Amino acid sequence: MRYTRAVTTARFRRPAPAPRAQARPLHAQEMFGARAMRRIVRALPPIESAYAAIRFTIMRSKLLSVMDLLLPAEGRILDVGCGFGLFAAYFAQTQPQRRLTGIDTNARRIDIARSVMAKLELTGHELLVGDARAVRDIAGAGFQAIYVLDVLHHVPRDDQEALLACLYDLLEPGGVLVLKDITTEPWIGLKFTELLDRVMVGWDEPLAYRHHREWGEMLSSLGFHVRMVRVPDVLPYPHVVIAATKQ
């Protein structure tokens, strides 16, 4: 009986669970974004480094993380008005499979952007001198995504829709256009932003802000499916992020 009981017990005993593989630690995108920002600031010349520190203070890693999630993790992505390459270098670091093409009309800024990419050992990216409306002639079309960060209100009002139509043509079907710009409400937030813009660009350059509903209607008329979100900030910037998908 003792022998039978032992066999029975062994038969129905549950096997010991196999040791579970230790999960790889997850890193919050915001923390990685802060490190990416610091690397970019250190890679710039002194004056541009100070500008970048201010620019990243305005944009903040949380806001950039929202846009980072809207962009595809790989493929060709166009940065319109890339300047010193701050955001091209940021998004290239967060997802290494991306292939960034940055374009700006200022040749000196493009030279600095190329230097930043080289110092950070970010390869496989293009930084080009030219107008965004000439991208097709310079770099071709077929982009999976395009982003325009705080650039549209510096484009003359009569040229804004034509630029967006050009960007629509550069996208592959299903591609996304991510816009970060300033909306016109509340009024105090708009005036706060306009004052800082004037400090940066002077009083002669025209500034053409629009309400986010205007941007949405314009993008919809061009054939985009539009989603948008207001992003609150501790500073009174009236940020709006728009994701427009090519139908």
**Domain range annotation of the chain:** 29-246
How much is the mean pLDDT over the chain?
87
9 pLDDT above the threshold of 60: no
Given this model, what pLDDT does residue 28 score?
46
Of 87, 120, 123, the residue nearest 102 (C-alpha):
87
| Ramachandran area for residue 83 (φ above 0: left; ψ -120 to 50: alpha; else beta) | left
Alpha helices (H) in 127-206, listed in sequence order: 135-139, 157-170, 187-201
Determine the pLDDT at residue 3: 46
Q: In this model, does residue 12 exceed pLDDT 50?
A: no
What pLDDT does residue 19 have? 53
- Whether 26 shows a pLDDT value over 70: the answer reads no
Give 14 or 120, the one with higher predicted confidence: 120
Q: Taking residues 78-90, what's their average pLDDT?
A: 95
Residue 84 has pLDDT above 80, yes or no: yes
For 136-151, what is each residue's pLDDT tens digit?
A: 888 888 999 999 999 9
Least confident of 57-61, 74-78, 187-191: 57-61
Any idea which of 28-42, 149-163, 225-239 has the lowest mean pLDDT? Answer: 28-42
Residue 27 pLDDT > 60 = no
pLDDT at 204: 87
29-246 placed in CATH 3.40.50.150: yes
Average pLDDT over residues 173-183: 96
Measured CA distances, 172 to 74, 128, 140, 169, 177 (Å): 14, 21, 12, 8, 11
What's the rounded Cα separation, in Å, for the pair 199 and 201? 6
The 10s digit of each residue's pLDDT in 185-243 is: 999 999 998 998 898 888 888 899 999 999 999 999 999 999 999 988 778 889 999 99
- Of 52-61, 81-90, 155-164, least confident by mean pLDDT is 52-61
